[in-house]
Structure 1
Amino acid sequence: MPGTDIISGYCIDVFVAAVNLLPYPIPYKFIPFGDGHQNPNYNKLVELVASGDFDAAVGDISIVTNRTKIVDFTQPYIDSGLVILAPVKQHHSDAWAFLQPFTVEMWCVTGVFFLVVGAVVWILEHRINDQFRGPPKRQIVTVFWFSFSTLFFAHKETTVSTLGRAVLIIWLFVVLIIQSSYTASLTSILTVQHLSSPVKGIDSLIHSNDPIGIQVGSFAENYLVEELGIARSRLKVLGTPEEYARALELGPSNDGVAAVIDEQPYIEIFLSTECSFAIVGSQFTRNGWGFAFPRDSSLAVDLSTAILALSENGDLQRIHDKWLTRSGCTQSTDLESDRLDLGSFWGLFLICGMACTVALIIYFFLMLRQFLRHYPVEETDSSGQGSSRSARSLHSFFSFVDEKEEDVKNRSKRKQMQQAGNNNADIESEHRFVSP
């Protein structure tokens, strides 16, 4: 406590409770390390234990690799890890909130697929389904109406062909997933209070050039530089919670920081009184706090056993609640989740696109086979130009595809009956010619 010889705190209470569980007495004396105003350098504190200047180090010392090489740590008495602290603002719904669940790319791709599926179904049904025939204007309206009515499963046109039904079933499944996701996201937007932040997580910080605040003496500096490749010039050392708040309020454009990276217990205590900030993203390292002892110290093993006993009997949680649970700021808002983008649904669109492509390929070969059967290739004049013959054949094929299948079959039957009649007439004429 300031101004007295009494030293207290969360780490001190855990240490004292663990020592009281040892089967033998241990005399100890706490010696403050640091100036009492700013956080000390924890790496230097651990080095002093390794060199024998201190018999042990009791405090919020993170167990990291470079420290375990020179000292022994006890069992972690609290889980920790690096998190991102950033300023947030309350997100209010507006008149265009119904567009927010999807990104612009998602809306565009979804709209295109509605039209594509409508056109594919029209092609597959045009020859055999009267509901997909008629004047050009009516057919265009039918394509648009059928496409977007599937969003509400309210399409009145029935599909007759097997290929059309297969495409429609797959598309309706895609629509079901999209509709369910949209409804859930929109419900969350309109009913839950959200906070929004320009910083979305560690990835967005890595790919930006904004300055990042870190705690003085924290292992976060080496981790960000050596493991994540962040330039050391972007890191700004901060020593107190007041400096955290001031740097975050100034922002990167006013000699402040875009975010602060620190261990979760510190951030939770900071957020207990500062409601205009929040943790963004998820915890991206896993470690804990422990007490440091010289190498091969038996006390490290015995205190680890005592810490496990404190955890099992509930004393460790009670000490945690005494020091680290605060109720000054009762903020129950959630950080705004990312909007649903194309990456979440590209698999569904891929399946639907493949189904449409396969159906069109099969339909093309079926039409080509029927066209060759009803309109066999005729021998053309050798003096005719190949390009004109190809153009006439292509025009005939598209005219055939545009015709109603029933009309094609009836015309084919009439042609066959006419040919049969001509054959019979030729036979009768031949008999009359050869008769005596």
Structure 2
Amino acid sequence: MGSVPVLALCFLFILIGAKAGNQNGTIGFSRPKALSLGALFTLNSTIGKAAKFAIELAVGDVNNDPTVLPGTRLNVITQDTNCSGFLGIIEAFQIMEKDVVAVVGPQSSMLAHVISNVVNELHVPLLSFAATDPTLDSLQYSYFIRTIHSDYYQMNAIADMIQYYEWREVVAIFVDDDYGRSGITALGDALAKKRAKISYKAAFPPNADRTTINDVLVQVNLMESRVYVVHVNPDSGMTVFSIAKRLGMMTSGYVWIATDWLASVLDSSENPGPNTMNLIQGALTLRHYTPNSVLKQRFVSRWRDLLRKGKTTSSLNAYGLYAYDTIWMAAYAIDRFLSEGANLSFSSDPSFHDTNGSHLHLSSLRTFDSGNMLLKQLLSSNFTGLTGQLQFDSDKQLIHPAYEILNIGGTGTRRIGYWSNYSSLSVVTPEALYGKPLNTSSTRKQLYDVIWPGETTTKPRGWVFPNNGKPLRIGVPYRESYTDFVTKDNGPDNVKGYCIDVFLAALNLVPYPVPHTFILFGNGSANPSYNELVQKVADNTFDAAVGDISIVTNRTRIVDFTQPYTESGLVIVATVKELSTSPWAFLKPFTFQMWCVTGAFFLFIGLVVWILEHRTNDEFRGSPRQQIVTIFWSASCMYHSKFQRCFLAKC
């Protein structure tokens, strides 16, 4: 009986201690009734419009789910950065004053660099669903977590496309900020691995006007490469295509590859309209790949219903999906964080103090005591969201980065394939290949056919002679004889002939155009000196010469010859005479002297036979007339028998 009051007294002390802990701002065994997340992005932007509504839906779904943060209401404090780095920094400090346990955003890579330094000091995790700058993966930014795939993977996807279409040089058009510069640097590194390169970097400042962009594109159009990679912000990207269309740069022979910003612009508008689509016909763009699932289909259907009801002004894009999953990632991590009994407390840092006359209120900033523990819970996330499996690897990167490759044509887009860091280019969905053995050979890379600018299905060469360059000067002999090889002509090339046909056929095999002009050498009334023509090539009067120019020793000392495309060998050149069709034409090869010699041998053979046979053969006797006939007869028989034996021997 005496032990009961003691137990009751101990229980009372525990309750008092718990209450005292709550009064000190430390939550031990009980969960807080509410906690706050910060959100930083530009509300009136292509990404911000979709992200704002997606975050609102995610917060509502978390609060309505009794299995996540039970008894705790999740709040999000949103601040508009207004596309300004300075204002974004001020808004970030204002959010930090409200003791948020994590910050979602920002969408600007430049602002993410600055705020990452702030959250490092305050130990508040920063979850960005839109800052894709690869340099943010630096160990310097320990509290920065990217909840979307880095542009490092997107640039590798573009490099694989460049290799697939066998181009060697590209022109990069980008906005000159952290997002643009870092992305193009990653592209250059990826192209170098494919033995390709960026031949020209065309940068323009953020918020550039049309005149500035026009000047940049005019300079771009003077370059050799016709393969353009456009890496800009969604809100200014269409201006680039609008000016390019006006400059005639959206026609046949040009290649335009836009990063995922273009897909976001098109996805954010339910019906882009012909004015927009006409600007980007034939362009290629990438979109973050999110596998189809029942969860995603329900959310898309829900979004469309709310859009029809006027609850939102933006259609759903990939960034909206990642923003929704980011809130759930934070909710799951905080739930595990609280379930392990962690303290949700903040402490003042004496190093944060206001200087004399300052109104920045730095002293109001407090450090999240358990920020490192929450960071570990966030990095250990592993759940299936709208964007697929959300899990981080050892480098703090989401696993299975993949993109859809879209071709814009008509009034919409057409998917021509996929890219993933596991299987590279393929027409099969990435998740269908994850379970198969890795095979990244070039023979396995495949994409569907593309309708290029100018409504052509023929792959552009990707290279032209620069508009500010000089065409090749080709010297051509203008001679009086043998005009079938080369001579003057009234056609567009000003020359014609067998040599010219061979030269033009060779140019067609070159994977890029070679502007040239033919210059006649000679007056056409006499054959020009070929030695002098070759000397003019050596003196750079002509860049090359085309014609029936013989390869001789003294010429090879000063110029280089191609391999001869005709080879005569040892021949005899003779005039052709008309052959007789008379029945006695076979006798024409025999001359008079030959007939005389043949007759003499005929009589000689007959006489020898008569001498040998006259003494013993009665057939060789008789009258002189009879013996003469016998001589001729025996000679003819002798010829006939020799011919017959020869014929039989040959048979």
TM-score (norm 2): 0.27
Larger-gyration structure (1/2): 2
Flag the structure with more relative contact order, 1 or 2, with Cα contacts below 8 A and sequence separation at least 6: 1
TM-score (norm 1): 0.37
More helix by share: 1
More strand by share: 2
